[in-house]
């Protein structure tokens, strides 16, 4: 259990600025999800906290202690990578025991056995404990990697897209388990994902990174409803937020260059005329692909809508977000 603080952390790789003066306070016991496209600096942020890499300037604090000069082992941090990193010549059981077998810990074998059993059950790999690590599917290997982090009871978990190689059902199960484990253990978790549902359901806070800068940090709801910029707005929401010229609809405030409309924030019945290009029935909802004055947009509607491609409807915004010429949100 510990707070994590990054203070003006800067990191370059040759000519590439991976992180530029990132300051971030991750509260004790929180579940922080880092969002951002490829190259935004998400993995680099985790590596700064873990000690696998060191900042060029700035400082990392865990539980109030400056981490400068401390190795990963000295930080009581467990990291799970996107690519599983197991000892191939060891069995699943031996892989899971490994972090507990450190001579420094002096954990009794009975306690190790208990812990391994508990974690294996949570991760649904108890029946594979005696298998060689190489004799597992990709999803199973990834669960063992997560298991190796869980057995240690670290203060901080750092996870880099840990569920992305798993199938949808297992991902949904493990999402709930991880959240439960984190809530129960009180550990602080910093988690990287591209998965919308993971971000919205697991995070107590989301951090939005753009080209090595932290552009927004707050609750998932605030990130969704009150994005600071077009960039931040497009990080969350599936289908993506529609970003259109502000003057397509009446009512734009002075200085508004574009209007952001979440698909569910478009009302039908009155307003501007739009052409229905395509209707996608997804079972629980239907997506309408529309064109309004040559601009494409997507809205969601009733699952049983009788609308068909080629028809026209009238639409207006219900909760518009306005952005200026630089893409920053207007208050």
Ligand X SMILES: Nc1ncnc2c1ncn2[C@@H]1O[C@H](COP(=O)(O)OP(=O)(O)OP(=O)(O)O)[C@@H](O)[C@H]1O
Q: For binding to ligand X (CB under 6 A), which residues are involved?
A: 13, 16, 18, 36, 38-44
Q: How far is the CB of 14 from ligand X (least distance, A)?
A: 6
**Residue 115 or 235 having the CB closest to Mg ion:** 235
Q: How far is the CB of 118 from ligand X (least distance, A)?
A: 31
Read off the tokens for 247: 């003057």
- Largest Cα span, the chain: 72
User: Segment contacting Mg ion (CB under 5 A): 40-48, 95-103, 117-125, 176-184?
Assistant: 40-48
In the list 43, 193, 229, 301, the residue contacting Mg ion (rule: CB under 5 A) is 43
- The CA distance from 11 to 3, in Å, is 21
- The CA distance from 288 to 277, in Å, is 8
From the list ligand X, Mg ion, none, partner contacted by residue 169 (C-beta under 5 to 8 A by kind): none
**Residue 88 or 138 having the CB closest to ligand X:** 138
Q: Which is it for strands 205-210 and 295-301: parallel, antiparallel or unpaired?
A: unpaired
Read off the tokens for 45: 């942020």
From the list ligand X, Mg ion, none, partner contacted by residue 238 (C-beta under 5 to 8 A by kind): none
Question: How many residues form the binding site for Mg ion (CB under 5 A)?
Answer: 1
DSSP state of 10: E
**Residue 41 or 227 having the CB closest to ligand X:** 41
Distance (Å) of CA 298 to CA 53, 135, 262, 291, 320: 42, 45, 9, 9, 14
Q: Comparing C-alpha atoms, which of 12, 48, 60 is closest to residue 212?
A: 12
**Residue 81 or 98 having the CB closest to Mg ion:** 81
**Residue 81 or 98 having the CB closest to ligand X:** 81
From the list ligand X, Mg ion, none, partner contacted by residue 219 (C-beta under 5 to 8 A by kind): none
Read off the tokens for 215: 């552009």
User: Segment contacting Mg ion (CB under 5 A): 38-46, 68-76, 253-261, 309-317?
Assistant: 38-46
From the list Mg ion, ligand X, none, partner contacted by residue 13 (C-beta under 5 to 8 A by kind): ligand X
Q: How far is the CB of 282 from ligand X (least distance, A)?
A: 27
DSSP state of 182: H
Q: How many CA atoms are closer than 13 Å to the CA of 53, on its beta-carbon side?
A: 19
Question: E strands along 230-311, which residues?
Answer: 242-245, 258-261, 266-281, 286-292, 295-301
**Residue 43 or 216 having the CB closest to Mg ion:** 43
Residues contributing to the site for Mg ion (CB under 5 A): 43
């Amino acid at each position: 259990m510990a707070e994590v603080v990054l203070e003006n952390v800067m990191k370059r790789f040759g000519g590439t600025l991976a992180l530029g003066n990132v300051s971030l306070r991750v509260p004790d016991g929180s579940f922080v999800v880092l969002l951002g496209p490829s190259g935004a600096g998400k993995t680099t942020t985790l590596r700064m906290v873990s000690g696998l890499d060191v900042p060029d300037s700035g400082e990392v604090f865990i539980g109030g202690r400056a981490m400068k000069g401390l190795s990963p082992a000295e930080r009581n941090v467990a990291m799970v990578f996107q690519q599983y990193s197991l000892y191939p010549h060891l069995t699943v059981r031996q892989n899971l025991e490994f972090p507990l077998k450190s001579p420094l810990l002096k954990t009794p074998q009975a306690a190790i056995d208990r812990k391994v059993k508990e974690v294996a059950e949570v991760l649904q790999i108890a029946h594979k404990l005696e298998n060689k690590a190489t004799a597992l599917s990709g999803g199973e290997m990834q669960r063992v990697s997560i298991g190796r982090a869980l057995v240690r009871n670290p203060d901080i978990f750092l996870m880099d897209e840990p569920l992305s190689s798993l199938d949808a059902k297992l991902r949904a199960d493990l999402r709930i388990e991880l959240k439960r484990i984190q809530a129960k253990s009180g550990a602080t978790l910093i988690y990287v994902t591209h998965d919308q549902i993971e971000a919205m359901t697991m995070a107590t806070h989301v951090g939005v990174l753009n080209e090595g800068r932290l552009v927004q940090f707050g609750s998932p709801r605030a990130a969704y409803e009150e994005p600071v910029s077009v960039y931040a707005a497009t990080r969350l929401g599936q289908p993506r937020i529609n970003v259109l010229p502000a003057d397509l609809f009446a009512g734009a405030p002075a200085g508004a260059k574009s209007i952001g409309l979440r698909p569910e924030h478009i009302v039908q019945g009155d307003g501007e005329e739009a052409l229905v290009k395509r209707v996608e029935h997804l079972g629980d909802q239907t997506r309408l692909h529309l064109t309004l004055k040559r601009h494409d947009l997507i809205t969601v509607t009733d699952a049983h809508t009788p609308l068909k491609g080629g028809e026209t409807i009238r639409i207006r915004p219900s909760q518009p977000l306005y952005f200026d010429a630089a893409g920053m949100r207007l208050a």
